[in-house]
């Protein structure tokens, strides 16, 4: 499952550029950038990105395990990552996520904020291109995997865009939203395509759907009982205002609370499941079982999504950071 070849880095600029770019398609990016937009830019922009991201990633992950196209052979390529090597290759979900997030952010903001259209388009293109190229550099995908992922994501964006506002309105106002947001993702996770061997795709999919479910319930709750959901947090992009100190304070306090929530919920849920199914919480094989992995990941990350959209804004208001 690890790297199968030794290698020597001859160009550290490309090495660190593409290692960093690859990280832009992983959990560490999702758990920082998506909440940042909610706390500091615009609620509606964040909601639309999360909706698109969850749908695109679910389709991408399921497609991998249905198509079962292998990753590039090593040798001849050198694989610079270990964990995702257990997954199939087609389509590249890094390419899908990068395309979906960058262009949904561009589309959602271009009519709300004043900035050059060409600049926004180039920024979205550069972001998604860097992530796509990183998958080739790290040896994790073929050119076809990357192109396929980007095209699938682009098609899904085109199909979802006309229904964007309708979906957003229903998720904010429908009395069935909390039930729908929890039950549908759980059903999808428990009925995820089965493989002959363990792959992290089911766990990653549960993480994504869980986070989106918790955030969606938070959006609905805020719209029902808190400030109007369509109200922007800031009158414009925070990086060009004098309120930078508030932006950074909101971000760092929020991230600390989110990470603390993840740690606490992970420990509690694993402890409960370990007691119920009689396994030590550090037993990796037991944690990979369906009846353990799905509730553990879903409850943990739905709590993270809910905390980011409800608890953290309340804390910001309490501390006078709004």
pLDDT given at position 3: 44
Catalytic residues: 94, 141
156-176 pLDDT tens trace: 999 988 888 888 888 888 899
- The rounded Cα 112 to chain-centroid distance in angstroms is 23
Residue 3 within any structural domain of the chain: no
Whole-prediction pTM? 0.82
Residue 62 within any structural domain of the chain: yes
38-81 pLDDT tens trace: 888 888 888 888 888 999 999 988 888 888 888 877 777 777 77
Give me the long-range contacts of 15-19 (CB less than 8 A, separation at least 24). 17/130, 17/134, 18/130, 18/133, 18/134, 18/137, 18/138, 19/80, 19/134, 19/138
pLDDT of 86 > 70? The answer is no
Tokens found for residue 3: 């790297």
Residue 249 within any structural domain of the chain: yes
pLDDT given at position 32: 84
CA quadruple 44, 46, 49, 54: dihedral positive or negative? negative
pLDDT given at position 28: 78
Residue 5 within any structural domain of the chain: no
Host domain of residue 122? 12-319
C-alpha to C-alpha distance for 122 and 109, rounded to whole angstroms:
14
C-alpha to C-alpha distance for 299 and 214, rounded to whole angstroms:
9
Q: What is the DSSP letter of 309?
A: I
Q: What is the CA radius of gyration of the chain?
A: 20
Residue 1 within any structural domain of the chain: no
C-alpha to C-alpha distance for 55 and 184, rounded to whole angstroms:
12
Residue 2 within any structural domain of the chain: no
Contacts of 246 (CB under 8 A, 6+ apart): 321
C-alpha to C-alpha distance for 187 and 191, rounded to whole angstroms:
6
Count of domains observed in the chain? 1
- Are 238 and 288 a contacting pair, CB within 8 Å? no
Residue 48 within any structural domain of the chain: yes
Residue 57 within any structural domain of the chain: yes
Taking residues 233-248, report their average pLDDT: 60
pLDDT given at position 226: 65
Where helices occur in the chain by DSSP H, the ranges are 12-23, 27-40, 43-67, 93-109, 117-137, 143-160, 164-173, 177-190, 201-225, 244-277, 284-287, 290-306, 312-318
**Phi-psi category of 68—alpha, beta or left, where left has phi over 0 and alpha has psi -120 to 50?**
left
Tokens found for residue 257: 């609370």
Contacts of 222 (CB under 8 A, 6+ apart): 43, 229, 309, 310, 313
């Amino acid at each position: 499952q690890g790297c199968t070849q030794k290698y020597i880095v001859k160009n550290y600029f490309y090495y660190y550029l593409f290692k960093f770019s690859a990280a832009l398609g992983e959990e560490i990016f999702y758990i920082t950038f998506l909440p940042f937009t909610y706390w500091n830019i615009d609620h509606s922009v964040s909601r639309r990105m999360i909706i698109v991201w969850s749908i695109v990633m679910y389709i991408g992950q399921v497609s991998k395990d249905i198509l079962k196209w292998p990753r590039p052979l090593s040798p001849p390529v050198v694989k610079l990552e270990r964990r995702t090597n257990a997954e199939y290759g087609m389509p590249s979900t890094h390419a899908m996520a990068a395309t979906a997030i960058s262009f949904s952010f561009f589309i959602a903001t271009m009519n709300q904020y004043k900035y050059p259209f060409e600049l926004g388009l180039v920024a979205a293109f550069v972001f998604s291109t860097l992530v796509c190229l990183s998958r080739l550099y790290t040896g994790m995908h073929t050119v076809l995997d990357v192109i396929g992922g980007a095209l699938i994501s682009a098609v899904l964006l085109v199909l979802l865009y006309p229904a964007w506002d309708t979906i957003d309105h229903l998720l904010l106002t429908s009395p069935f939203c909390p039930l729908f947001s929890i039950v549908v993702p759980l059903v999808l996770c428990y009925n995820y395509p089965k493989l002959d061997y363990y792959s992290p795709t089911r766990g990653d999919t549960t993480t994504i759907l869980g986070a989106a479910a918790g955030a969606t319930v938070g959006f609905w709750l805020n719209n029902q009982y808190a400030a109007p959901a369509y109200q922007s947090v800031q009158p414009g992009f925070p990086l060009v205002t004098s309120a930078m100190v508030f932006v950074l304070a909101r971000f760092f306090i929020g991230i600390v609370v989110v990470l603390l929530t993840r740690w606490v919920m992970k420990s509690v849920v694993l402890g409960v499941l370990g007691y119920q199914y009689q396994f030590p919480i550090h037993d990796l094989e037991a944690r990979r079982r369906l009846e353990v992995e799905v509730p553990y990941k879903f409850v943990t990350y739905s709590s993270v999504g809910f905390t980011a959209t409800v608890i953290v804004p309340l804390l910001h208001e309490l501390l006078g950071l709004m």
